[in-house]
Amino acid sequence: MSAELAAEPLVGFRHWGARRGGLYSGIFVAGRFVPNPALGMIAPRVKPVPWPTDDNRVAKCFALRGHDAPHRDCNCGFAAYYALPDEPELPAPEAVWGAICAWGHVVEHQTGFRAQYARPIALLDLRSPGDYREKGKRLENAAAAYAIPLLARDELVAYARWHGELRAA
Amino acid sequence: MGDIGKPIRETERPAPVRPAEPDVEPVRAPPKPEPVKT
């Protein structure tokens, strides 16, 4: 599959685990957030790092036979959905949703994509009930660290569209 | 991230363009006029 040239960056929506201002990729298991489990398996002593606050991060693949990310036949790359779910789930207190802008090499799937480069552009103003850590300012701390706005749902979608191509899912 | 379905196509996309910083001095408010003595 050869890559087509596209005119704009691609925008999408995803969730992270937010801790002390950092946005971490990871999984949610039984109400808990586990940052970057793939990295934890190959290098248990390496601390997970949050998404950077600048543009200088290229996606990496943590598979044993590594390759440039994203690869068509892998799950690597910065991933997001084309559409924000009607009722975004917050499976753990750390869970936050937001929009990203992606560029470089992008593998486009049926309902989302994986990209070589990406950065968060805004966060959804939706917080997990019962999240009392960080003095109830988890979202505000992350938004301030990344210098991005905290927006209501409709505003977030409009803001994302302004930053690039928003594909229909 | 959950399931995003099967790959459909691959693209090469340009980096986002950040708005340029203004290269002119910001417009300042004019000085307040002196009060007129009568």
Task: Check residue A157 and give its pLDDT.
Answer: 95
What's the alpha-carbon Rg for chain B, to the nearest Å?
A: 27
Beta bridge pairs of residue A28: A33
Beta bridge pairs of residue A29: A32
pLDDT tens across the length of chain A (169 residues): 688 999 999 999 999 999 989 999 888 888 888 887 766 666 677 778 888 887 667 888 877 667 888 988 888 889 999 999 999 999 899 999 999 999 999 999 999 999 999 999 999 999 888 777 877 789 999 999 999 999 999 999 999 999 999 987 6
Overall number of domains in chain A: 1
d(CA A66, CA A63): 5
Does residue A106 sit in helix, strand or coil?
strand
CA distances from A66 to A76, A95, A168 (A): 10, 29, 31
Run of H or E residues at A42:
helix A37-42
Q: Cα-Cα-Cα-Cα dihedral of A90, A96, A102, A105, to 10°?
A: -50
Taking an 8 Å cut-off on Cβ atoms, the answer to whether A110 and B4 are in contact is yes
pTM of the model: 0.83
Task: Check residue A126 and give its pLDDT.
Answer: 94
DSSP structure class, residue A131: -
- Does a structural domain hold residue A108? yes
Token couple for B21: 């910083």
- Does a structural domain hold residue A169? no
- Does a structural domain hold residue A3? no
Taking an 8 Å cut-off on Cβ atoms, the answer to whether A103 and B4 are in contact is no
- Does a structural domain hold residue A80? yes
Size of interface A-B (CB pairs under 8 A): 82
- Does a structural domain hold residue A88? yes
- Does a structural domain hold residue A125? yes
Task: Check residue B21 and give its pLDDT.
Answer: 54
Domain extent for A125: 10-163
Instruction: Write out pLDDT tens, residues B18-37.
Output: 655 555 566 677 777 788 87
- Does a structural domain hold residue A4? no
Task: Check residue A86 and give its pLDDT.
Answer: 92
Long-range contacts of A48-52 (CB under 8 A, 24+ apart): A48/A24, A49/A22, A49/A24, A50/A19, A50/A21, A50/A22, A50/A23, A50/A24, A51/A16, A51/A22, A51/A23, A51/A24, A51/A25, A51/A118, A51/A119, A51/A120, A51/A146, A52/A119
Task: Check residue A130 and give its pLDDT.
Answer: 76
Is residue B26 within 8 angstroms of chain A, CB to CB?
no
Token couple for A130: 């019962």
| Best to test chain A binding among B3, B4, B12 (most A CBs inside 10 Å) | B4
DSSP structure class, residue B19: P
Check: complex ipTM more than 0.90:
no
Per-residue DSSP letters for A42-62? H-TTSPP-PPPSSS-------
Task: Give φ, ψ of A141 to 5 degrees.
Answer: -65, -45
- Does a structural domain hold residue A1? no
Instruction: Write out pLDDT tens, residues A43-60.
Output: 677 778 888 887 667 888
Is residue B9 within 8 angstroms of chain A, CB to CB?
yes
Task: Check residue B18 and give its pLDDT.
Answer: 63
Task: Check residue A53 and give its pLDDT.
Answer: 82
